[in-house]
Structure 1
Amino acid sequence: MSWIGIRELWDGLSRHLSSVRGGETITVTDHGRPVARIVPVDRPTTLERLIADGVVQPPRTAKRPAPEPLDVSGTVSDLVAEQRR
């Protein structure tokens, strides 16, 4: 895996994409901090590999939607204090 800055990525984009096509993973940095990773499309993700190896199981059901927010007044502290009574 190689680390390159954004400017270097833009300056040699074709060369870097050719490396990715060859199987290399590139981590893009912004001022020395990693911000993105360019990986080959045909490589399975870590989660896909763990599922294939039987280490983890995908969920059996779809994620439920979040409940509708409640329309309340007052602060959270007031609500907690009220529930403790």
Structure 2
Amino acid sequence: MVSRGRHGGAPAREDELRRDERAEQQVPALQGSVLPPPPPVDYGVFMQGLVQAMQTQAHTQAALQAQLKAQICLDGAYERCTAGKS
């Protein structure tokens, strides 16, 4: 008979799987209070808020770009400001 180096003849892999299964069964349940479920989400309100935030961001970006362009013009880079305007 071929010896596998273990008593009982079970392969090492099967033994490890059984040991892992026993360890999972012995893990104690978490103690403490259970949190209530989160409130339901009104996706219509969520989407309205998201659209409003995106519009605000777009307006802010446009204002910052205009401000930067005005600053470039004031700093003496007039040719860059008027390039393409005829």
| Same fold by TM-score greater than 0.5 | no
The structure whose residues are more often strand, as a share, is 1
User: Rg bigger for which structure?
Assistant: 2
Bigger relative CO (Cα 8 Å, ≥ 6 apart): 1
**TM interval, short-chain normalised:** under 0.3
Provide the TM-score with structure 1 as the length reference.
Answer: 0.28
Provide the TM-score with structure 2 as the length reference.
Answer: 0.28
